[in-house]
């Protein structure tokens, strides 16, 4: 049986390499736990701690895992940015889905759209963002985050009006935390892109493919 399988796999692999690569080649394959370096062991342990309860075999963590020294700092930073800033989950998750929209990352979008809604974000806000429209049903504090991050991504410039509103609402610390949270999801997106990670879509509104993801 084993021999048969091997023969079949070899035959399949050599006969249709293109098809095999497209369908199956795994980037950042799992590492045998017995082969973990001390830094990888530490990283794997950190992944299971606290609210995260993640695993190093899932993306994007399997990518971080290839460079555990980087990964350790990334996870600590992410733990702080997601759960330690004092920002409502509704607002943290809004910042994350705006980052997902910027990167057109279906994976992050799929993972965080439900968390945003659970946190209290009106689903219409996510639906508008997915369609490339400025959301019509944002609360004041949501619109401030939306403007801050979309001006950053689209214009590479934050207007004085937006800065003043953001500062009055969130303070300099809050602004720093919001930009850092969005930017942390940049490394997540880049790791997911590199690992070619796919996710089964759920019932969230789908990110439309657009030339301009944030309208003027």
Partner 1 sequence: MKKIIAIALLAAFAAPGLLSAADNTRFPPIPVDKQTAKQKEFIKALTDSPRSANGGGGNITNPPFKVYLRSPEFGAYAIKMSDYLRFDTGLENRLTELAILIAARNWDNDYIWTAHFGPAVKGGLDSSVAADMAAGKRPAKMKEDEAIVYDLLTEIYRDRKVSDATFAKATGKFGEKGVMDIIGLASYYGNTAMALIVSNGTRPAGNEPKLQKLTQNFPK
CA atoms of 148 and 170, how far apart (whole Å) = 11
Nearest to 58 by CA among 164, 199, 206, 207: 199
Q: If binding is defined by CB under 8 A, does position 156 make contact with partner 1?
A: yes
Report residue 107 CA to chain centroid gap: 7
Q: Which of 98, 100, 101, 103 binds partner 1 (CB under 8 A)?
A: 103
> Helix, strand, or coil here: 56?
coil
Q: If binding is defined by CB under 8 A, does position 109 make contact with partner 1?
A: no
Q: Which of 163, 165, 199, 205 binds partner 1 (CB under 8 A)?
A: 163
Q: Which of residues 72-91 bind partner 1 (CB under 8 A)?
A: 73-74, 76-77, 80-81, 84-85
**Least distance from C-beta 132 to partner 1, angstroms?**
15
Q: If binding is defined by CB under 8 A, does position 179 make contact with partner 1?
A: yes
Residues 175 and 148: beta-carbon distance below 8 Å: yes
Nearest to 87 by CA among 175, 168, 212: 175
Q: If binding is defined by CB under 8 A, does position 184 make contact with partner 1?
A: yes
Sign of CA dihedral 12, 15, 18, 19: negative
Q: Given the rule CB under 8 A, which of 42-50, 119-127, 136-144, 184-192 is the region that contacts partner 1?
A: 184-192
> Helix, strand, or coil here: 73?
helix
Contact set with partner 1 (CB under 8 A): 21, 25, 27-28, 63-64, 66-67, 69-71, 73-74, 76-77, 80-81, 84-85, 103-105, 148, 152, 156-158, 160, 163, 171-173, 175-177, 179-180, 182-184, 186-187, 190-191, 193-194, 196
């Amino acid at each position: 049986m084993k021999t048969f399988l091997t023969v079949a796999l070899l035959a399949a692999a050599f006969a249709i390499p293109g098809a095999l690569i497209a369908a199956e080649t795994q980037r950042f394959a799992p590492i045998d736990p017995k082969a973990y370096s001390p830094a990888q062991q530490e990283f794997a342990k950190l992944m299971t701690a606290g609210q995260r309860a993640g695993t190093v075999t899932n993306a994007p963590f399997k990518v971080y895992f290839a460079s555990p020294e980087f990964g350790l700092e990334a996870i600590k930073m992410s733990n702080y940015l997601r759960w330690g800033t004092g920002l409502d989950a509704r607002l943290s998750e809004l910042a994350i889905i705006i980052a997902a929209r910027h990167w057109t990352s279906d994976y992050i979008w799929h993972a965080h759209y439900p968390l945003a809604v659970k946190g209290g974000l009106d689903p219409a806000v996510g639906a508008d963002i997915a369609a490339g429209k400025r959301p019509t049903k944002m609360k004041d504090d949501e619109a401030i985050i939306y403007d801050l991050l979309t001006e950053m991504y689209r214009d590479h410039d934050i207007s004085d009006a937006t800065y003043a509103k953001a500062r009055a609402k969130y303070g300099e610390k809050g602004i720093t935390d919001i930009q850092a949270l969005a930017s942390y999801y940049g490394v997540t997106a880049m790791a997911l892109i590199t690992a070619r990670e796919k996710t089964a879509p759920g019932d969230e509104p789908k990110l439309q493919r657009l030339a301009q993801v944030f309208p003027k």
